[in-house]
Amino acid sequence: MKWMKFKIKTVVEAEDIIISELYDRGLEGAQIEDKVPLSPLEKEQMFVDILPETEADDGVAYLSFFVEEREDGSLNLGGVAESADKETVLTRIGEALEEVRQFMDIGDGTVTVSETEDIDWINNWKQYFHQFYIDDLLVIPSWEEVKEEDRDKKILHIDPGTAFGTGMHETTRLCIGQIKKYVTPDTELLDVGTGSGILSIIALMYGAKHAVGTDLDPCAVEAVAQNKEVNGIQLGDFELLIGNIITDKDVQDTVGYGCYDIVVANILADVLVPLTPVIAPCLKQGGIYITSGIIEGKENIVADAMEAAGLTVLEVNALGEWRSVTAAKE
């Protein structure tokens, strides 16, 4: 299948109105590229392991519309209802831009056209995710090669998979800092909401003895398996369970009680509250409970849940608008 891509250079303020105008002209759906930082609410809602570092917002936006090209060369505009050619589409885009330009600034307003074969929508995001450091740890996506000068460094190869994010999310950094602080060669670790498995793998890289991960999403199975393989993690060193540890007694029993030196949960605060009384029995005496995914202002409700479960809050750490609360079973 071939697609024709119409890419408009505009400004952030005009994104929504241009998309709306073009929708009315048969161009449905848009790929938006800009440098607008995510709001705290957006980060909380999408909640990914790692967010890519971006440049400062310059107000510029690119809107791309992909139109299917039929075998006869015509374009499938507005679903199956209408056929058009490239010039017709360009005319409609030009009309929409001029209409919007009458009452607001649309910036450059130029349009470029290119043709592409099948679009790999699932993997398209990879072009924005490149290697980066977390303290002394070099994180490299599985599709990039290790540079010769980096081969002696501590390296985490990561493939987030389709269900999980990428990039340096502050919550992930907070968890990693706490794991490095408390991990020992004897550490048995439980990673609740493991996702891509990044925290368990890092714990093992820094010396943990064994890790167990749980997750609700079956897609975690493939993501974790891939990340274990590319990082040389032995099969028995990191085990994964799919299920809801909060409500499923079978998952709780399989995870075990009084087994873990560290439990880490990089999950939203509203999930950490009901999770905490379930986690407390999983910890060994003296065990450490590391939580993150807590937006500023919600750290107190997590700390209160810890105290109510018989744990002692040791520290609250901050990075940007995110918080990490660490407690111990004393």
Name which of 316, 328, 272, 268 is nearest 294 in CA terms.
268
Q: Can you tell me the mean pLDDT for 179-199?
A: 94
pLDDT of residue 178: 97
| Banded model confidence at residue 54, pLDDT cuts 50, 70, 90 | low
pLDDT value at 123 more than 80: no
Mean pLDDT for the chain overall: 85
Cβ neighbours, 10 Å, residue 232 = 11
Q: Can you tell me the mean pLDDT for 104-110?
A: 93
Cβ neighbours, 10 Å, residue 95 = 13
Q: Can you tell me the mean pLDDT for 243-247?
A: 95
| Banded model confidence at residue 163, pLDDT cuts 50, 70, 90 | very low
**271-282 pLDDT, tens per residue?**
999 999 999 999
pLDDT value at 106 more than 80: yes
pLDDT of residue 46: 46
Distance in angstroms (rounded) separating the CA atoms of residues 36 and 56:
8
Percent of the chain with pLDDT over 90: 46
| Banded model confidence at residue 111, pLDDT cuts 50, 70, 90 | very high
pLDDT of residue 120: 59
**281-304 pLDDT, tens per residue?**
999 999 999 999 888 899 999 999
- The tokens for 163 are 């269900």
| Banded model confidence at residue 80, pLDDT cuts 50, 70, 90 | very low
As beta bridge partners, residue 64 has 7, 31
Name which of 119, 274, 287, 270 is nearest 187 in CA terms.
287
pLDDT of residue 117: 65
Task: Set out the domains of the chain in order of their start, with CATH numbers.
Answer: 2-49+56-119 (3.30.70.260), 171-328 (3.40.50.150)
Query: What is the 3-state secondary structure of the chain?
Result: CEEEEEEEEEEHHHHHHHHHHHHHCCCCCCEEEECCCCCHHHHHHHCCCECCCCCCCCCEEEEEEEEEECCCCCEEECCCCEEECHHHHHHHHHHHHHHHHCCCCCCCCCEEEEEECCCCCCCHHHHHCCCEEECCEEEEECCCCCCHHHCCCEEEEECCCCCCCEECCHHHHHHHHHHHHHCCCCCEEEEECCCCCHHHHHHHHCCCCEEEEEECCCHHHHHHHHHHHHCCCCHHHEEEEECCCCCCHHHHHHHCCCCEEEEEEECCHHHHHHHHHHHHHHEEEEEEEEEEEEECCCHHHHHHHHHHCCCEEEEEEEECCEEEEEEECC
219 phi/psi in degrees, rounded to 5: -65, -20
Amino acid identity of residue 94, one-letter, is: G
pLDDT of residue 78: 59
pLDDT value at 210 more than 60: yes
pLDDT of residue 52: 55
**88-105 pLDDT, tens per residue?**
889 989 999 998 998 889
User: Is the CB of residue 50 less than 8 Å from the CB of residue 169?
Assistant: yes
pLDDT value at 64 more than 60: yes
pLDDT value at 162 more than 50: no
pLDDT value at 138 more than 60: yes
pLDDT of residue 164: 44
Percent of the chain with pLDDT over 70: 85
